[in-house]
């Protein structure tokens, strides 16, 4: 495996860990709200209510930092940094299937433009 491919692999895996961390933290936040009889949503201590999800989210962020550092050791920052935009694509897919959020046509077009930009920068 070439140095370039190794750097791209590290950056791609880092993006996945970042997205998984976001999902874990979102799930923790969703579960840490009490709804009153009148319909008010009151946040409670997230760390006290969801320590496992918080720990998973933070662990994913730690892995992201390690993998980004490795990617930067193999590739120029001008290539690695734009790859972080792929996180938006991964988050869109994960939020749809894990959090059951809606994906609009406008978002899909935006993601397509972002992906095109990442490809243009990454294949330089």
Q: Which domain holds residue 61?
A: 3-122
Structure-token pair, residue 8: 């791209």
What distance lies between CA 103 and its chain's CA centroid? Answer: 16
Question: For 55-114, what is each residue's pLDDT tens digit?
Answer: 999 999 999 999 999 999 999 998 888 888 888 888 989 999 998 999 999 999 998 998
pTM: 0.79
Q: How many domains does the chain have?
A: 1
Question: For 14-56, what is each residue's pLDDT tens digit?
Answer: 999 999 999 999 888 877 677 777 877 776 766 667 888 889 9
Report d(CA 120, CA 25) in Å as an integer.
Answer: 32
């Amino acid at each position: 495996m070439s140095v370039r491919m190794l750097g791209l692999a590290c950056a791609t895996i880092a993006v996945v860990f970042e997205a998984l961390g976001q999902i874990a933290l979102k799930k923790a936040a969703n579960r840490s709200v009490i709804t009153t009889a009148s319909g008010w949503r009151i946040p409670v201590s997230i760390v006290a209510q969801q320590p496992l999800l918080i720990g998973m989210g933070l662990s994913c962020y730690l892995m992201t930092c390690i993998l980004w550092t490795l990617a930067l050791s193999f590739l120029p920052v001008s290539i690695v940094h734009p790859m972080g935009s792929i996180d938006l694509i991964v988050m869109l897919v994960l939020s749809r299937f894990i959090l059951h959020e809606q994906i609009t046509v406008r978002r899909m077009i935006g993601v397509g433009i972002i992906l095109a930009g990442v490809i243009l920068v990454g294949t330089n």
